[in-house]
Chains A and B, each alone.
Chain A
Amino acid sequence: MRGRASRVTVIAAAVTVVMASVTSCSSSFGMPRGSTEQGEEIFDLWQIFFWAGIAVAVLVYGLIAWSLIRYRRRRRESDADLGLQFHANVPLEIIYTAIPVVIVIVLFTLSFGTEDRASSVSPTPDVVLRAEAFSWGWRFGFPDEGVEVVSEPSAEGVPGPEILLPLGRTTRIELTSNDVVHAFWVADFLYKRDAIPGRVNVFDVTPTEMGTYHGVCSEFCGIHHAYMTFTVRVVDQSEFDTWIARGAAAA
């Protein structure tokens, strides 16, 4: 009896922990909300996926919990007692194969649309930013304006470079690497791309919120990978212009 009660307690506790951590992340489910037009697209998709995930989890955990509780062997039953000896149920099997097929088709269609929008590149960007990763740091150039920000090689205690981007304008980022594979990731933009030597990856960001954002190298690139960070500050156009005019020097 005690064993069974404690089992139920364990399950209840586990469910509580999961629910608590889910709700504590509020409705963004722990994801930054996306501070760019592209990121907001991805954020919307994330919410759909998360709700779908919760629905599946509730259904499957519910069925498992029901089976464990309802069909546990009772004390009056012996170890040799058998359960029902049915083997299959073809109509049911067809249904439970078809349901995931439908879910998956819907999710794929949605995510295909999102990728199209989030990765579409404008032919007429307002700003072009050339980002070149190297071991271990970043060279950020604004070729149209003729200015460049180069970081000190990163290491413990050396802060990465800072760049400014104008609010509400589309910046095209042309990303490459000088040596090994790195990656450019600003979590608040919900977007990352690999920086690959010999190739240029192009994507747009259109910031929708002023703020200071933490950026990292997200592809392992050697000893100082952990310190290969940078900062993106989204400011209004006039502050951006002043910064460019001063040669992109730190304020």
Chain B
Amino acid sequence: MTTTDHKKLGIMYCVTAFTFFLIGGALAGAMRAELADTGSQLVGAQSYNTLFTVHGIIMIFLFVAPFGVGLANYLVPLQIGAPDMAFPRLNAMGYWFFAGGGLLVLLSSFASDAGGVATGWYLYPPLSGPRYSPGVGPDLLILGLALVAISTVMSGVNVITTTFLMRAPGMTMWRLPVFTWNVVVTAILGLVAFPPAVAAFVLLLFDRRLAGQAFDPLGGGDPIVYQHLFWFLGHPEVYILILPFFGVITETIPVFSRKPLFGYTGFILATLAIGALSTGVWAHHMFTTGVVDNPFFSAMTFTIAVPTGVKFFNWIGTMWGGKLSFRVPMLFSIGFLLNFLIGGITGVMLASAPLDFQLADSYFLVSHFHYTMMGGSVFGIFAAIYFWWPKAFGYMLSERFGRAVFALMLVGFNLTFWPQFVVGLRGMPRRIVDYAPGLGWDTPNLVSSLGALVLSAGVLLFLVDAFTSRRRRTPAGDDPWGGFSLEWATTSPPPEHNFSSLPRIRSERPAFDMRHPELVSGPPATASEPPA
């Protein structure tokens, strides 16, 4: 409870976040059950609205983002050869802010006289204002999100400081493992994006409780200003949700291809470009408002497709000429590639303002972002779990179970979300509890709900795997995969201060170089290292 060890905190972050995934998934299951058929059968409109609001908030702010923070906490010091994070106590405080914020978010979903918060995850005023959402739900949600935002800033400061100041001798920035690079850029985005969002939330709170009129048109306020502030967070946020998992699969694919990453420098430059561009595209969420410069934001958004496309070639180039072994982390990484490509292609469609006039706020959009976040980030999360579990706990997860988990999730995921593209094109808007028959929406919705069952079976099977593997305890050894980065050069689990001795760092693959000294290029092994 009072630990400041980055490894324990990292695991606490991941376990807490994964618990939120199970909660958010259960809420999604309830929604899919409701939508399986026309009519409203299971939950009333108000509860449905609370379900998707809380599901969205949980998945984004309490699961995917903090899971990335957890991984960063666990891995950054290990990957750069440091004994801990730069500010261990700040780190612990960040965790508790996150957990507390999460609790408030859960409370906001029901602890309210007028029902739970039901505003959608982006809390647009005037709907989220005092007149239309009088209960305390939105207040609790705003406070919870503020705590989570502060926690994000704390961990961001920590990751950046640690990486810049605590690298082991020889670990230059151009030898930094790609996962660490990706979470550094993520941390910078967090520092840029969260403060304006907190400002927006605080103004909203003033409107709600202190008769402020910032966003209320009846009092001369402007709801569009809120949308700008919100999406100035909201869009970088989606890169906060994906970059760490780009990092994950860029660690696993080289290891299981038995090759170095193809185009390391280009990959890092692409990551930096994505980070920079992602702060200039926010108003693509506002094309249909008619009050933003659509061509500018459309062009900026198209541009982001370029560095993202580059990464696909990095991944393919890495597998090219390799000796691929399809262990479970590699399977999930391949699943990431397959799903994320569809998310990317549909993203380019949504970036076109005139196409967005049709696609915005439809199920096409719902499917698009689930292809990036569920099919992408969450597959990345499972790749990370299967890859680093043996490092963290010293024993393996089951390869047989893992393959079944992967198959169920890949099939279930695509069954759930592919029909949503179809139904979106047929005109089904998002966030509706019910739909009329005869519009061609019934069958795709039924298939989607059945797919969600298959997907859940995959997730549940993972829990079975975790429990049975824990019982079986098949020893992992220090380096079960033939890993490349420094965490594979220490014991599993690592000792309290991570390393008793460090190998020489002469490339971005120190653990690989240690096993293959004959392949190391550059200065001979006797040359002295640059000072720390």
Contact = CB atoms under 8 A, between A and B. Distances in A.
Contacts of B118: 222-223
Contact of A84 (B223, B266, B298, B321): B321
Given A68-B319, A108-B302, A198-B217, A181 B126 contact: yes
B354 A115 contact: yes
Contacts of A191: 357-358
Nearest to B429: A218
B309 interface: yes
Interface stretch (A41-49, A143-151, A232-240, A241-249): A41-49
Interface string B52-82: 0000000000000000000000000000000
A85 B295 contact: no
Contacts of B341: 56-57, 60-61
A165 interface: no
Contacts of B427: 32, 185, 187-188, 214, 216
A64 B42 CA distance: 43
Interface size of B as a range: 35 or more
A220 B431 contact: yes
Contacts of A79: 325, 482
A1 interface: no
Interface string A61-82: 1011001100111000101111
A89 B385 CA distance: 32
A205 B82 CA distance: 63
B290 A193 contact: yes
A135 B45 CA distance: 14
Find the residue from A71, A79, A221 having the highest chain B CB count within 10 A. A71
A23 interface: no
Contacts of B257: 71, 83
A74 to B, nearest CB: 8
A230 to B, nearest CB: 12
A180 B352 contact: no
Interface stretch (B140-148, B238-246, B433-441, B454-462): B433-441
Interface string B447-470: 000000000000000000000000
A96 B342 CA distance: 19
Contacts, number: 265
A21 B338 CA distance: 16
A208 interface: no
A10 interface: yes
Interface in B208-261: 217-218, 222-224, 257-261
B431 A114 contact: no
Contact of B320 (A60, A67, A112): A67
Contacts of A83: 257-259, 321-323
Interface string B352-367: 1111011011100000
A183 interface: yes
Contact of B124 (A49, A107, A181): A181
Given A181-B126, A216-B427, A218-B362, A46 B355 contact: yes
A209 interface: no
Contacts of A226: 45, 431-435
A132 B136 CA distance: 30
B312 A181 contact: no
Interface in B297-356: 298-299, 302-303, 305-306, 309-310, 312-313, 316-317, 319-326, 334, 337-338, 341-342, 345-346, 348-349, 352-355
Contact of A64 (B259, B316, B325, B430): B316
A10 B338 CA distance: 13
A73 B324 CA distance: 5
A25 B265 CA distance: 42
A88 interface: yes
Contacts of A87: 260-264
The dominant DSSP class at the A interface is mixed
B289 interface: yes
A211 interface: no
B353 A115 contact: yes
B262 A73 contact: no
A71 B324 contact: yes
B32 to A, nearest CB: 16
B223 A181 contact: yes
A13 B208 CA distance: 53
Contacts of B482: 79-80
Given A111-B353, A181-B126, A101 B306 contact: yes
Contact of B358 (A7, A97, A190): A190
Nearest to A78: B323
Interface in A179-200: 179-181, 183, 185, 187-188, 190-194, 196-199
A21 B419 CA distance: 9
A167 interface: no
Contacts of A198: 217, 222-223
A180 B217 CA distance: 10
B217 A223 contact: no
A171 B7 CA distance: 64
A176 B294 CA distance: 20
Contact of B132 (A56, A73, A222): A222
Contacts of A193: 288, 290, 357
Contacts of B288: 183, 192-194
Interface in B105-129: 118-120, 124, 126-127
A49 B431 contact: no
A57 B345 contact: yes
A111 B298 contact: yes
Contacts of A199: 224, 290-291
19 contacts: A14-B338, A30-B421, A45-B355, A53-B349, A56-B341, A60-B341, A67-B324, A71-B323, A79-B325, A82-B259, A93-B263, A96-B309, A100-B309, A104-B302, A112-B298, A135-B132, A192-B358, A225-B49, A226-B431
Given A45-B355, A81-B323, A225-B431, 6 more contacts: A32-B427, A45-B352, A88-B262, A192-B358, A219-B361, A221-B127
